Structure 1
Amino acid sequence: MITNRIVIVGCGNMAHAWVKTALARQDSEIAALVDLKEESAKRLSEAFGLDVPFYTGVQEAIRETGANLVFDVSIPEARKQIVTASLEAGCDVFSEKPMAVSLEDAKGLAAAAESSGRTFSVMQNRRYNKGIRALKQLLAEGTIGQPGMICADFFLGPHFGGFRDVMESPLLLDMAIHTFDQARFLIGSDPVSVYCHEFNPAGSWYRGSASAVCLFEFADGSVFSYRGSWCAEGAPTSWEAAWRITGSGGTAIWDGTTPPYAEAPAAGGQPSFIRETRRIEAPLVWSEDEGHAGCLAEMFAARQEGRRAETDCTDNIKSIGMVFGALESSAKGVKVSLL
């Protein structure tokens, strides 16, 4: 039985993973494609053998097809208009990140979703990974006690070309939200303040600031330290970042690639200057889809069950708020409240 009639807005390469997921579901069908460029819609249709109408406006597409769900895979600058129009037309919305291009817009979209009675969920695919799920379980079981310091290193040197090379803050605006959202997901607390310094180091091929150091304070008293660079060639971290989390009873480590583990004081160990520790492995038991498919599966499940998705706008606004707070802190050179 078809319960999800989907309009896809934005027919570029980013849409491919979304279309593939929709076509694999027996309860879903693609009702229409929306893009300002007809050639983009034609290429997407040909890639997946779609025989659906093409529109240049989302409201018309919804009205004429009877769609009840919108995939917004358009450019971030169009997010506010597309999401607002879709909600007003009675559709739930699943969108690519970022949720919005400003905190003001993000707050407005969250309010629009609430007043419409519909839902607006945001893609945060890096929550859906066997390694991070194992690390979260390790923390949830109290293996290292209460987390007090969370450290994430993100060092890569991708040569994208195109728009990222000329952005003012390519790392913070385009990528850091993934790591910020992962930190919130892992410790289950919300940020209350941030101090950030972003800069463009020697050798950078970006016009804007491609590196940043951020310190976030969280409501539970823990501190999250982020160090990142998109112009770091050699000895790269994983795209998932490299994590060290110290707690009241040990330390958890995840390099973003291999299974995470923890080290905690050995039971019955003799008193010493540096105590002996034991290693606790974290099994990779997560059996659900990973990446985009995993996040979309959660969004669909939440819609079917009548609940908010893990990455509903009411949650994701706290992650994107970390980005805009970091940008404000860097611009002003002061610690910024996120409350």
Structure 2
Amino acid sequence: MPLWPRVTGVARDKAVLSKDDAIRVERDLRQRALHYRAGYGFQAAHANRPVGFPVVSYQGRFINGKAINIARRFYYTPTRAINGMISPYFSPFPATCYSMCVQTRYNKQYKETVMQRIIQAGLGAMGQGWADCVAASDKWEAAAYVDINRRNLTAAAERHGMPKNRCFRDLATALRSVEADALLDVTPQGARRGLCMTAMDCGLDVLCEKPLADTLDNAVALATHAQKTNRTLMVAQNYRYQPAVQTAKRFIAQGRLGRVGYVGVAFHKGPRFGGYREQMPYPLLLDMSIHHFDMLRCILGQDIAAVQGKSVSAPWNWNKGDATVLAILETDGDVCVNYFASWVSRGWETDWNGNWRIEGEKGALIIENSDVYFSTKRATRRKVSPVKMTKTHQAWLLDGFAAALEKNLEPETSAGNNLNSLTATHAMVRAVQEQRMVLTQELLEQR
């Protein structure tokens, strides 16, 4: 008789297992999951009664010289419950479920953590950085790698010890082959809609790179689909989660700057990415400016209401489309922003955040080379003590994503919330094409 009916049930909050018992439970459930995938054991009549619980397995690892215990978590949704016990009919579908937890107390010297499993799609240059962050995370472990480029796939697998049977050329095969809680989408934005919708349809929550989609229509469709499927879709707006931005945000929120009057942002870089970015019609606006627009929303706590501007293709521009913009943005809090940015700069460069000057009633808040200063006199400024952050950028996003799922909260950069940042970039494209002011709401109402 399988072990699981004796230790886990609908009416029980926790089940305490030994290490050996936990492994037996997982093995039994894996077998049932495989039967489900083969078309056996699933009773559609009970599919609307989701009750789930995580099952854990164990791997010994050494991190920073200390032996710790990593627990994997898999959600299974039973389709039937008998007398408070789980029936043998399982779907490996991480649908909405109760917070039941299988725990172990077999060895006190090990630190016990519950790791969620994430499939990563996209292992190019940016994807390799994400793979490193997942490997270092204490919240997530990679369930599988997906990339159409075999070289990228092999490089990531060798770097992080991913078995060949968990490396795939397409997401659909990965979803049929491994159990996972979420998808990390680091593919080019043109593939975003198909991959994210497929994952959400399979019950996975999604953390995707910015921008949310290649077109505003696709972005709205993704945000709508996340609501429809009751899945979390979080956008990786990592520039928010660094000391400079959080310090400026806190300074203004505390009222130390007074009412904000206007903002100036200067950004100048000359990267040569190659690939799809250099083929985009407006590479700076569509791939980079969204970071700065999202930073603006984060720092001021306001949305972007209107934009206007002029794009420039410098004589030495190596991109197919215009890569320089001079723009004015207006927020719903009546703050005007002068935005001057280029991706084909020569000579001295700003850092990736750009240099900011935020003028307020009580002085000027300056962000320069990712340091924050406050000035009330013409020739002096003092450095503002930065917000202390133990994790930043992608590492923060992975933790924030895990926390949002655990607490059932909408992430700060959910697809729905992020629509304003993306809409502002597309409104700017419309503004430079038509040489007029464009309201962000105007674009959304046309959807």
> TM-score if structure 1 supplies the norm length?
0.91
Quick check: 2:123–2:131 contact (8 Å CA) kept in 1?
no
The aligned counterpart of 2:301 is: 188
CA contact 1:33–1:54 (8 Å) conserved in 2 = yes
Q: Which of 158, 163, 168 does residue 55 from structure 1 map onto?
A: 168
Pair 1:299 & 2:401 matched: yes
1:76 Cα deviation after fit: 1.2
Structure 2's unaligned 5+ residue stretches are 1-70, 74-115, 442-447
2:242 paired with 1:164? no
More deviation, 113-122/124-133: 124-133
Q: Deviations over 1:1-47 (max 9, x none)?
A: 33412111122232222222222234432222222233432221011
Report the Cα distance in structure 2 between the residues aligned to 1:198 and 1:34, rounded to whole angstroms. Answer: 36
- The aligned length equals 328
Partner of 1:270: none
Offset at 1:251? Answer: 1.2
Q: Decide whether aligned partners of structure 1 residues 15 and 160 sit closer, same or farther in structure 2, where only a CA change above 3 A counts.
A: closer
Q: C-alpha root-mean-square deviation of aligned residues, in Å?
A: 1.9
**2:422 is the counterpart of 1:309:** no
CA distance in 2, matches of 1:285, 1:186: 13
| Alpha-carbon distance, 1:205 to partner | 2.7
Structure 1 match to 2:345: 232
Q: Where does residue 327 of structure 1 map in the other structure? A: 429
Partner Cα distance (2:333, 2:428) in 1 = 19
Who is 1:271 aligned against?
Answer: none
- Greater shift after overlay, 182-191 or 27-36? 27-36
Question: Per-residue CA shift, 1:248-269, capped at 9, x if unaligned?
Answer: 2221111133x2121237xxxx
CA distance in 1, matches of 2:242, 2:140: 24
Q: Secondary structure at the match of 1:18?
A: helix
Q: Give the match for residue 137 of structure 2.
A: 25
* Displacement after TM superposition at 1:172 (Å): 0.7
Q: Which has the larger displacement, 294-303 or 51-60? A: 51-60
Query: Structure 1 residue aligned with 2:287, among 158, 174, 188?
Result: 174
Tell me how far apart the structure 1 counterparts of residues 140 and 238 of structure 2 sit (CA, whole Å).
Answer: 20
Counterpart code for 2:439: S
Alignment CA distance shift 1:166-1:191 (3 Å): same
Moved more, 143-152 or 112-121: 143-152
**C-alpha distance in 2 between matches for 1:203 and 1:39:** 32
C-alpha distance after superposition, 1:46-80 (max 9, x if no partner):
11111252233323322332212001111211100
Q: Give the 3 Å change call, closer, same or farther, for CA 286–37 of structure 1 in structure 2.
A: same
Deviation at 1:123, TM superposition (A): 1.1
1:278 CA drift (Å): 7.6
User: 196-205 or 88-97: which moved more?
Assistant: 196-205
CA contact (8 A) 1:5 1:66 kept: yes
Q: Is the 8 A contact 2:139 2:399 kept in 1?
A: no
Is the Cα–Cα contact under 8 Å of residues 150 and 183 in structure 1 kept in the other structure? no
Q: Distance in 1 between matches of 2:326 and 2:238?
A: 23
Q: Report if aligned partners of 1:157, 1:233 keep a CA contact under 8 Å in 2.
A: yes
Q: 1:96 corresponds to which residue?
A: 209
Kindly indicate whether the alpha-carbon contact (under 8 Å) linking 1:72 and 1:82 is maintained by their aligned counterparts in 2.
yes
The equivalent of 1:113 in structure 2 is 226
Structure of higher CA gyration radius: 2
Query: 8 Å contact 2:144–2:162 — kept in the other structure?
Result: no
Higher relative contact order (CA 8 A, sep 6+): 1
Cα deviation for residue 221 of structure 1 reads 0.9
Alignment counterpart, residue 373 of structure 2, candidates 261, 268, 283? 261
Identity %: 29
Q: Which structure shows the bigger proportion of residues in strand conformation?
A: 2
**What is the alpha-carbon distance in structure 1 between the residues aligned to residue 118 and residue 173 of structure 2?**
13
Distance 1:237 1:163 in 2: 24
Unpaired segments ≥5 residues, structure 1 = 266-275
Distance in 2 (CA, whole Å) between partners of 1:302 and 1:148 is 34
